[in-house]
Amino acid sequence: MLRFRSSEKIWLKGGKNFDDPDSIQGLIEIALLKLRPLVYPRVYLSSRIAVLKKDVFLPENGNFSSYIPIEEWKRCYFLKLPDFNIDKFEKAATYFPGYHDFSSFKRFDSFNVHKTNRRLLYSVKVQPGQPLVTSYSNSNIQHFFDYWDVEFHGKGFVHKQIRRMLGAMISAAIGKLPVEEIKVMLQVPSKHSWPSYLQSAPPHGLYLCNVEYNPEHLVFDSNINSKKSEEILNEIEEECE
C-alpha cells in the first residue's frame, strides 16, 4: 500500500519540474510528464465534511464514532459541533480565491532550500453533499448528519494548505476565529500569523478530483519540433512565475 506525505506537492522556487513522488500531486505529475505536455495542469482538490445535526440527541456518555457509517470511516471528516454556522463557513471561503502568499497556511518543513509560497487559487466552492454508503446504511444514518463538499480549484498548493484552510474555515464557522481574521492571515503571510489555537483538518475526506488541461494543448502537431516545444514550455513557465 502506498503511503504519501501529503496530497499537495512541495514546490521549489525555480524548479517547476521538481519530482516529488511522496505526494499524490507529485506522483501524478511524474506520470503526466512522460506524455511531454506543453503546459502544467490545474489541480482540483476536494474535502468532504459531515456535521452532526443540531436536533440529534446523543447520550451524555454516548460514543460519537458509533454513529459514523463504516463505509465512511476516514473517508469523510465527521464533526460534532452544535455551534457550526454554515453561513460563516461559506463567508470564510470567499477570502481564499486569488493570487496569494499562503505562508500562513503552510506547514514549514526542514528542507534547507528556498521555496515560493505564492499560489493562484481559482475558486473555493461549498455545496451540499451526500453520504457515500449503501442504501441500508443511508436509511439509518442520513438524518444524523449534514454533509458538505468543499472543492478547491487551483494551480497548485503548498504543504498542508488545503487542510489548514479547511481548519480555519471550520474555526470561523463555530466562532473560534473571526471570519475577517482570515483576510489578515493572507495580508500578513507568515508562520507566526497562524494562531496556535487553530488545528489543521485531518486528511479524512481529502481527494484529488480532477487534473485539467486546455484541450488545444493536447492536440499533437508534428510540425513543432522538440526545440520549439522547449521554447513554448519556457514561455509558459515565465508567465506562471
Cell triple for 225:
519540433
Q: Give the pLDDT confidence score for residue 74 in this predicted structure.
A: 80
Distance CA 226, CA 222 (A): 10
Residues composing the chain: 241
The domains found in the chain, sorted by start residue, are: 39-214+222-240 (3.30.70.660)
Segments of the chain with pLDDT less than 70 = 1-18, 36-45, 53-64, 66, 109-114, 134-143, 217-218, 220-241
* Beta carbons within 8 Å of 102's beta carbon, 6+ residues apart: 117, 118, 119, 157, 158, 161, 186, 189
Q: Give the pLDDT confidence score for residue 17 in this predicted structure.
A: 57
**Long-range pairs for 222-229: beta carbons < 8 A, 24 or more residues apart:** 229/36, 229/38
Q: Give the pLDDT confidence score for residue 1 in this predicted structure.
A: 45
CA-CA-CA-CA torsion sign (196, 202, 203, 207): negative
Q: Are strands 145-154 and 42-52 parallel, antiparallel or unpaired?
A: antiparallel
Q: Give the pLDDT confidence score for residue 75 in this predicted structure.
A: 84
